[in-house]
A and B are shown apart, each in its own frame.
Chain A
Amino acid sequence: MEILIYGTINSIALALMALGFALVYGISRVPNFAHGALYVITGFITWTLLRALGLNYLLSIFLALVAIGLVGALIYQFVLIRVRGMAISEIIASYAIGLAILEGLRWGGFKGTTYTLPVFIEGSIHIWDVPVDLHRVLVVGIGGAVVGMLWFFTHYTRIGLALRGMAQDERAALMLGIDSDVMALVAMAFGAMLAGLAGIVLLPLGNIVVEKGYDVLIQAIAVCIVGGLGSWMGAVLAAFLIGFAQILTTVYLGAHFQMVVALMAIILTLILKPSGLFGRQKELEERV
């Protein structure tokens, strides 16, 4: 029962981490290697607003999300737009930006255990005799809400439909008057905000440390590859797969193996079914 409950929580957390990466890659085909950095820096922005400036928690969360959306848009507008379509440059540029942010934070002295965000709701409840913090319950709720809203957004709003159109066929979308640069910008801003939201929701469970940036990037990528790069629903399902696998290894082997699980998941997927569980790309295109 414990495994079931904590597995679900872990899976939802993974899905939250991965959605931003999946969104950006699915729409603009830019692998956003700065994803983990955006996750961590949102935590620090919120911390600064909350602790250093003394703002209301909700207000600082809101401001941090707006700020991270802007950062994402700026990164796209000034750097990634110029290298879009050049695979090597895309990877190097986004990776370098991520590194610059993370190592800059480390240099700025943001390390150790001093930086923590408060949990949203104190206390814990018992679900089938398993004690669970209310915050973790809230993570599940927020995660479910985000997935639902994303689905609603991409199916019933103009921008969402345009984004989906571009993800499916960029040229056809261009012919129908969808500006692909603007849409990719929007996607990048949304992706950054999703990364930031994941950070705000998940970081109160531990300290805000720079190393989390790399972990989050790797776990997000693992989820996206297993689910099929560019497929959002695939990412959610893969999050459950990897989430439960991680909890099982934590229970039976030890907590250090979470990263190894992610790596093994990637390798196995690449060997067995490179396009992922729900990859929309045809296997022929991927496997040369």
Chain B
Amino acid sequence: MNMDQRRRERLDRGIKVRTDGIYALMSWRELSYLTLPRLVLIVGMLLLPLVMPSMYWQRVISIVCIYALLALSFDLLAHFVGLVSLGGALFIGVGGYLTAIMNTSFALPPLLTIPIATVAGASICTLLLLPCLPLRGVYFAIVSLMYPLALARVIEALDILGGTDGILGIDSFPNRWVEQYFVIVMVLLFLFATRRMVNQDIGLVLRAVKDNDQAVRASGMSITFYKAVAVFIASAMGCMGGACLVHIYMWSGISLLALDFSILPIAATVIGGAGTLVGPVLGCFVLVPVSELLRAFGTLRIVFYSLILVAFIVFKSEGFMVYGRRKYNQFERWTKV
């Protein structure tokens, strides 16, 4: 064998290593290496409503942000706690209907309904999902898949909460700027908050629950409790999304429990990069506008996401963000073995 045996070696860039420590403060270059990606994201998102050409696309931005909240909640649950939620629509539905009831029956303004719906909705979702939390395996996926379908059926059957017509006459946001900036700021807030949280102690425990639950139990911590906390946080994000959606559309109905809300966030997470938290948000910014362009095709959109999803999960399961982060932080070279 005189053929050179070579392998690709992957090393951290010098600047990455320096910016990990106090040396980040040494020069503008290091500082910008560290802060530029974050700043681009924050400034970019804040500028988006200003550069959008029409009212229609500004509305799309709000919808994107709601999907981004859902995708964030899916990513947190699936890749930090190990619970695959196939029912993002449950969170949207519970948050949305709560908001609708509070707004129409008790005439509360959006300023109050959204926070209340977030906390109360998250509590309801956590309670609903509690029975499958002490278990490992596919139970969470199954139960979370069933709730939105069953709830839609119950609402239809009993003709409660407006039945198939839905609840009409809900207040909108004061104006469209408030609406857009509220959801954008919420996405950014939740994004950076969850990023911070998963690096705290509780994040460590959550990841341990995913990787080795027996070890967590052996350390004297209740797995069910930590899973419930994670579900509460994730469903709070989803319920807030639902509450905002209801105020944006000024209507709440069975379509809040539709499959779109379950499958699109999952697709966005897989495409954007599982376990990165930023990836799902960016994935939504790609997928939702595409889905708006495909609106004419009806349910073919869902087929389209599903196929993308399968392709990505089988062939490129890391997603764009993991790839991008690797390129940003590391360089590769060929070395002789």
Query: Shortest CB–CB separation between residue B280 and chain A, in angstroms?
Result: 13
Interface residue A218 (Cβ < 8 Å from any Cβ of B)? yes
Bound-state Cα–Cα, A93 to B217, Å = 30
Task: Check B306 against A99 for contact (C-beta < 8 Å).
Answer: yes
Task: Check B303 against A107 for contact (C-beta < 8 Å).
Answer: yes
Task: Check A88 against B298 for contact (C-beta < 8 Å).
Answer: no
Stretch with Cβ within 8 A of B (4 or more), from A61-69, A124-132, A179-187, A265-273: A265-273
Q: Mark B116-142, 1 if CB is under 8 A from A, else 0.
A: 000000000000000110111111011
Task: Check A270 against B139 for contact (C-beta < 8 Å).
Answer: yes
Within 8 A of B (CB), among A49-93: 78-79, 82-83, 87-89, 91-93
Task: Check B86 against A100 for contact (C-beta < 8 Å).
Answer: no
Task: Check B310 against A93 for contact (C-beta < 8 Å).
Answer: yes
Query: Which listed residue, A87, A221, A256, A266, touches B156 by the CB 8 Å rule?
Result: A256
Bound-state Cα–Cα, A79 to B138, Å = 19
| Residue on A nearest B143 in the bound complex, by CB | A266
Bound-state Cα–Cα, A137 to B79, Å = 48
Query: Which listed residue, A92, A97, A225, A263, touches B139 by the CB 8 Å rule?
Result: A225
- Known contacts A99-B259, A286-B137, A288-B217; A259 and B149 CB within 8 A of each other: yes
Interface residue B150 (Cβ < 8 Å from any Cβ of A)? yes
Q: List 16 A-B contacts (CB under 8 A).
A: A31-B141, A83-B317, A87-B82, A87-B137, A100-B310, A103-B302, A106-B298, A218-B146, A218-B150, A221-B146, A263-B147, A263-B150, A267-B143, A270-B143, A288-B134, A288-B223
Known: A88-B82, A93-B313, A218-B149. 14 other contacts (CB 8 A): A79-B314, A83-B313, A88-B78, A89-B313, A96-B307, A99-B263, A99-B302, A100-B310, A103-B303, A218-B146, A256-B156, A259-B150, A266-B142, A267-B143
Bound-state Cα–Cα, A251 to B146, Å = 23
Interface residue A95 (Cβ < 8 Å from any Cβ of B)? yes
Q: Which residues of A contact B299 (CB under 8 A)?
A: 103-104, 106-107
Task: Check A96 against B263 for contact (C-beta < 8 Å).
Answer: yes
Interface residue B145 (Cβ < 8 Å from any Cβ of A)? yes
Bound-state Cα–Cα, A32 to B27, Å = 54
| Residue on A nearest B317 in the bound complex, by CB | A89
Q: Which residues of B contact A232 (CB under 8 A)?
A: none
Q: Mark B212-229, 1 if CB is under 8 A from A, else 0.
A: 011001000001000000
Bound-state Cα–Cα, A218 to B147, Å = 10
Query: Shortest CB–CB separation between residue B127 and chain A, in angstroms?
Result: 11
Interface residue A4 (Cβ < 8 Å from any Cβ of B)? no
Bound-state Cα–Cα, A262 to B153, Å = 12
Bound-state Cα–Cα, A97 to B314, Å = 12
Query: Shortest CB–CB separation between residue A260 and chain B, in angstroms?
Result: 6
- Known contacts A95-B86, A107-B299, A274-B139; A266 and B146 CB within 8 A of each other: yes
| Residue on B nearest A224 in the bound complex, by CB | B142
Interface residue B243 (Cβ < 8 Å from any Cβ of A)? no
Within 8 A of B (CB), among A87-124: 87-89, 91-93, 95-97, 99-100, 103-104, 106-107
Q: Which residues of A contact B270 (CB under 8 A)?
A: 92
Interface residue B309 (Cβ < 8 Å from any Cβ of A)? yes
Q: Which residues of A contact B78 (CB under 8 A)?
A: 88
Task: Check A93 against B303 for contact (C-beta < 8 Å).
Answer: no
Q: Which residues of A contact B303 (CB under 8 A)?
A: 99-100, 103-104, 107
Interface residue B290 (Cβ < 8 Å from any Cβ of A)? no
Bound-state Cα–Cα, A100 to B270, Å = 16
Bound-state Cα–Cα, A214 to B263, Å = 14
Query: Which listed residue, B138, B146, B150, B214, touches A288 by the CB 8 Å rule?
Result: B214
Query: Shortest CB–CB separation between residue B209 and chain A, in angstroms?
Result: 8
Query: Which listed residue, A31, A100, A274, touches B135 by the CB 8 Å rule?
Result: A274
Within 8 A of B (CB), among A240-275: 254, 256-257, 259-260, 262-263, 266-267, 270-271, 274
Interface residue B282 (Cβ < 8 Å from any Cβ of A)? no
Query: Shortest CB–CB separation between residue A213 and chain B, in angstroms?
Result: 11
- Known contacts A92-B266, A225-B139; A259 and B306 CB within 8 A of each other: no
Task: Check B136 against A256 for contact (C-beta < 8 Å).
Answer: no
Interface residue A287 (Cβ < 8 Å from any Cβ of B)? yes
Interface residue B31 (Cβ < 8 Å from any Cβ of A)? no
| Residue on A nearest B216 in the bound complex, by CB | A288
Task: Check B310 against A87 for contact (C-beta < 8 Å).
Answer: no
Interface residue B300 (Cβ < 8 Å from any Cβ of A)? yes
Query: Shortest CB–CB separation between residue B60 and chain A, in angstroms?
Result: 22
- Known contacts A93-B313, A103-B303, A288-B214; A87 and B298 CB within 8 A of each other: no
Task: Check B149 against A97 for contact (C-beta < 8 Å).
Answer: no
| Residue on B nearest A95 in the bound complex, by CB | B86
| Residue on A nearest B314 in the bound complex, by CB | A82
Task: Check B313 against A257 for contact (C-beta < 8 Å).
Answer: no
Query: Shortest CB–CB separation between residue B94 and chain A, in angstroms?
Result: 15
Query: Which listed residue, A106, A257, A287, touches B157 by the CB 8 Å rule?
Result: A257
Q: Mark A23-52, 1 if CB is under 8 A from B, else 0.
A: 000000001010000000000000000000
Query: Which listed residue, A88, A221, A262, A274, touches B84 by the CB 8 Å rule?
Result: A88
Bound-state Cα–Cα, A33 to B149, Å = 14
- Known contacts A103-B299, A266-B142; A93 and B135 CB within 8 A of each other: no
| Residue on B nearest A274 in the bound complex, by CB | B135
Interface residue B297 (Cβ < 8 Å from any Cβ of A)? yes
| Residue on A nearest B209 in the bound complex, by CB | A288
Task: Check B150 against A260 for contact (C-beta < 8 Å).
Answer: yes
Query: Shortest CB–CB separation between residue B215 and chain A, in angstroms?
Result: 11
Query: Which listed residue, A79, A95, A104, A286, touches B145 by the CB 8 Å rule?
Result: A95
Bound-state Cα–Cα, A78 to B307, Å = 13
Bound-state Cα–Cα, A286 to B245, Å = 37
